């Protein structure tokens, strides 16, 4: 497996209550391969979302190096980083983060805005992604007209439509019942079958157990499990 993302002694600090920097993520070195499936587990406040933000280039390390396909993300500049995020990285969140006022189809099309594709082509790609997650009959429903599980499927379709290199999902099943949650993980695994890397934060041990590689975070220290 070749490296997609490499972290070399990456740390993250935020300003603490006294104004002094407080290190939230301690020195972390790890490699994520192309097509690799990883679960991240650990208690609330341990740094899971912070790590995901760094991996997804939403935030920058305080020290250390993060490389994407061998290129140092710090050297890219914000413009190229935002293109990288838009074109090659998919995000899925616990609270779905859909636009409430527009249809499932329009929501998925927003994920393709970075492309220079004409609207008809974006519409076609978005329709295919919604069909892939089993929502071919729900294209024109607004989020409020869909169940929680269906809304999360729309969010997954939005991530899949761009055929990303990697998908980050931060507690994607946290707002769903157990069976719906496992169906959502099934869909994400299906995306990984097509070659995307997959990194999922979860509190659910039965979900973590489905991943071949598990990382545990406690107080900002990352360790490999099993
Ligand atoms: P988890 O996702 O594991 O619950 P987080 O990564 O969200 O944990 O947070 C880890 C710690 O970092 C928490 O103590 C949180 O308060 C702190 N933290 C996260 N983001 C910020 C920020 N932008 N500024 C200050 N502290 C933050
Ligand atoms: Mg979190």
Ligand nearest to the CA of 222: 1
Q: In sequence order, what are the residues at sequence separation of 6 or more whose Cβ sits closer than 8 angstroms to the Cβ of residue 95? A: 175
* pLDDT tops 70 at residue 180: yes
Q: How far is the CA of 169 from the centre of ligand 2 (A)?
A: 10
Q: How far is the CA of 47 from the centre of ligand 2 (A)?
A: 7
Structural domains of the chain, with CATH:
36-63+79-225 (3.40.50.300)
Write down the ipTM of this complex: 0.98
Task: Tell me the whole-structure pTM to 2 decimals.
Answer: 0.95
Q: What is the pLDDT of residues 44-85, one digit of tens each?
A: 999 999 999 999 999 999 999 999 999 999 999 999 999 999
Rounded Cα distance between 139 and 80, Å, is: 32
Q: How far is the CA of 111 from the centre of ligand 2 (A)?
A: 23
* pLDDT tops 70 at residue 1: no
**Ligand 1 touching residue 24 (CB < 6 A):** yes
Q: How far is the CA of 197 from the centre of ligand 1 (A)?
A: 24
Q: How far is the CA of 219 from the centre of ligand 1 (A)?
A: 10
CA 67 to chain CA mean position, Å: 17
> Which pLDDT does position 214 carry in this prediction?
98
> Which pLDDT does position 116 carry in this prediction?
85
Q: What is the pLDDT of residues 103-155, one digit of tens each?
A: 999 999 999 998 889 999 999 999 999 999 999 999 999 999 999 999 999 99
**Ligand 1 touching residue 21 (CB < 6 A):** no
User: Residue 107 to residues 11, 99, 112, 120, 136: CA-CA distances in angstroms?
Assistant: 34, 6, 10, 15, 14
**Ligand 1 touching residue 181 (CB < 6 A):** no
Ligand nearest to the CA of 17: 1
Average pLDDT on 86-103 reads 96
Q: Are 158 and 127 in contact (CB under 8 A)?
A: no
DSSP state, 147? -
> Which pLDDT does position 226 carry in this prediction?
78
> Which pLDDT does position 192 carry in this prediction?
87
- Residue pointed to by tokens 């972290």: 7
> Which pLDDT does position 110 carry in this prediction?
94
Q: What is the pLDDT of residues 14-55, one digit of tens each?
A: 998 899 999 999 999 999 999 999 999 999 999 999 999 999
Rounded Cα distance between 116 and 166, Å, is: 21
Q: Which atom of ligand 1 is nearest to the CA of 46?
A: 3
């Amino acid at each position: 497996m070749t490296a997609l993302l490499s972290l070399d002694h990456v740390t993250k600090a935020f300003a603490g209550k006294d104004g002094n920097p407080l290190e939230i993520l301690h020195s972390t070195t790890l490699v994520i391969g192309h097509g690799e499936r990883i679960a991240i587990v650990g208690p609330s406040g341990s740094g899971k979302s912070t790590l995901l933000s760094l991996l997804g280039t939403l935030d920058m390390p305080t020290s250390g190096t993060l490389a994407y396909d061998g290129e140092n993300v710090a050297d890219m500049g914000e413009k190229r980083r935002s293109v990288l995020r838009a074109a090659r990285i998919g995000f899925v969140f616990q609270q779905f983060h859909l636009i409430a006022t527009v249809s499932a189809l329009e929501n998925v099309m927003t994920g393709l805005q970075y492309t220079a594709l004409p609207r008809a082509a974006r519409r076609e790609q978005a329709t295919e992604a919604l069909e892939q997650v089993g929502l071919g009959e729900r294209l024109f429903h607004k989020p409020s007209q869909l169940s929680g599980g269906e809304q999360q499927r729309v969010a997954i379709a939005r991530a899949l439509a761009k055929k990303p290199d990697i998908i980050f999902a931060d507690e994607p099943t946290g707002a769903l019942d157990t069976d719906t949650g496992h169906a959502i993980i099934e869909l994400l695994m299906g995306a990984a079958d097509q070659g995307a890397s997959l990194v999922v934060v979860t509190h659910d041990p039965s979900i973590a157990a489905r991943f071949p590689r598990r990382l545990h975070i406690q107080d900002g220290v990352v360790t490999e499990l099993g």
